[in-house]
Amino acid sequence: MRKFNLLVLFVLVAGLAAYAYAEGIPEKITIDDCAKKKSAVEFPHKAHFERTKCEICHHVNEGLTAENFAEMEVKACGTCHVEPEKAETPICSSSSTKKNPFHILCISCHKDAVAENAESKAPTKCTACHLKPAE
């Protein structure tokens, strides 16, 4: 009976912890730094969080996980990618479409996903993310 109670307690604590840090992860993030060139993108952050490692995108936050994101200073892309004079931190407004940081990460990963699985729904065309405004 004691082992069962410990197991129930463990499952309850683990479930509450998972809920607590999952609640802090944004469902969607609007990426609008290129709004002058293309429509803003509603990035499904939580869906990506569930499929890949945080540090794939948050490359300056090595070791970032759902368990420790509240303790780490998670930097948004614009924190570093605002200085056009630094080649290592390109920004949208000063980058060609193919050199844009989002495109480098997003499209290459999506193309890899489609190459691995033809049934993948990872978008690879501009209009799949940059939706036309409703009229």
Q: What is the pLDDT of residues 28-44, one digit of tens each?
A: 988 876 666 778 888 89
The DSSP letter of residue 114 is H
DSSP one-letter string for 71-90: TS-PPPHHHHTT-TT-TTS-
What fold characterizes domain 2-129? Cytochrome C3 (3.90.10)
Per-10-residue mean pLDDT of the chain, 135 residues long, equals 49 42 75 75 87 81 79 74 61 57 81 93 88 73
pLDDT digits (tens, 9 = 90+) for 5-15: 444 444 443 44
Q: For a pLDDT cut of 70, what percent of the chain falls above it?
A: 62
pTM of the predicted protein model: 0.61
Domain ranges of the chain: 2-129
Distance of CA 53 to the CA centre of its chain: 9
